[in-house]
Amino acid sequence: MTRWTDVAGLAGVVMMLAAYAAAQFRVLDPVKAPALAMNLGGASLVMVSLARAFNLPAFLMEAAWALIAALGLIRLAISRR
């Protein structure tokens, strides 16, 4: 039986891989809002999936990924002022 936390984690992985692939194929600019939002959302969903089966190294990786994406989005918001 698939749990909702597993579905959230899988969706997060798909989002992050899609953002990475789109950046590699120059479909998305990795420092623009769409790619950063996909990375932030994806990392957050993977962290949700860790609530059921916590893994410290995975959590730290996803937290760092989310923090970097969030800082990028904040930088963009500030630069638009």
Q: What is the pLDDT of residues 65-80, one digit of tens each?
A: 999 999 999 999 999 9
pLDDT recorded at residue 63: 98
Whether the predicted pLDDT of 1 surpasses 90 = no
Q: What ranges do the domains of the chain cover?
A: 4-79
Average pLDDT over residues 57-63: 98
pLDDT recorded at residue 70: 98
The pLDDT tens digits for 4-31 are 999 999 999 999 999 999 999 999 999 9
Tokens standing for residue 42: 């994806």
Q: Which helix (H) or strand (E) holds 58?
A: helix 56-79
pTM listed for this prediction: 0.94
pLDDT recorded at residue 9: 97
Residues present in the chain in total: 81
- CA–CA gap between residue 54 and residue 74 (Å, rounded): 28
